[in-house]
Structure 1
Amino acid sequence: MDYDILISGGGIAGLTAAAAFGSAGFSVLCVDPAPPVTDREAAGADLRTTAFLQPARDFLDQCGLWARLDGHAMPLQVMRIIDAGGARPEPRVTRD
């Protein structure tokens, strides 16, 4: 099979791009060398929260994806930004 688009990377950006192009009618192949982690107890599970700001939410809605995610979403209450750059990898500035 021929593909219109190859997405390299099955993280949140790659999967979103693949779904968006697919919903626009393109034939898409998304590849990642690591198998997907589908169990929260599995090694390599990433339980971090992902915040979608309004433009990203609108984009997901236009692609037909937001309806599938909406039931799992919660409004953002606090975003904490920590600057840990510099010579020593330790928090220098924290803002909520």
Structure 2
Amino acid sequence: MRSRKRAAALSASTLLATAVLMGASPAAQAIPDNCSTSQPTASTVASFCAGGTGQHQVAVTVLHVNPAVGYVYNEGLWQPPGTASTASLPPGTIISLRVNRR
């Protein structure tokens, strides 16, 4: 009988602790939306997100003109929606241009 009471008390305390922890979790943020990249200039690339919350950053992969260098990966600073994220563009062929969102 005593072990049943202990098991019931342990189950109740576990459920209570779980409920408290779930209730204290922060609200989820929505990632930025309506994002685009600008036409690359001779030296920069940029991304812009018009809505949502969170942050975005432009990221570019380039095959450098010097074969000894190979691939170069550049990324801009994380920015909130409504602000552009820019990164420098090394000389070479753009392999990929994308927007990272979080």
Q: TM-score range by the shorter chain?
A: under 0.3
**TM-score, scaled to structure 2:** 0.17
- Give the helix-richer structure, 1 or 2: 1
**TM-score, scaled to structure 1:** 0.18
Structure with the bigger RCO (C-alpha within 8 Å, sep 6+) is: 2
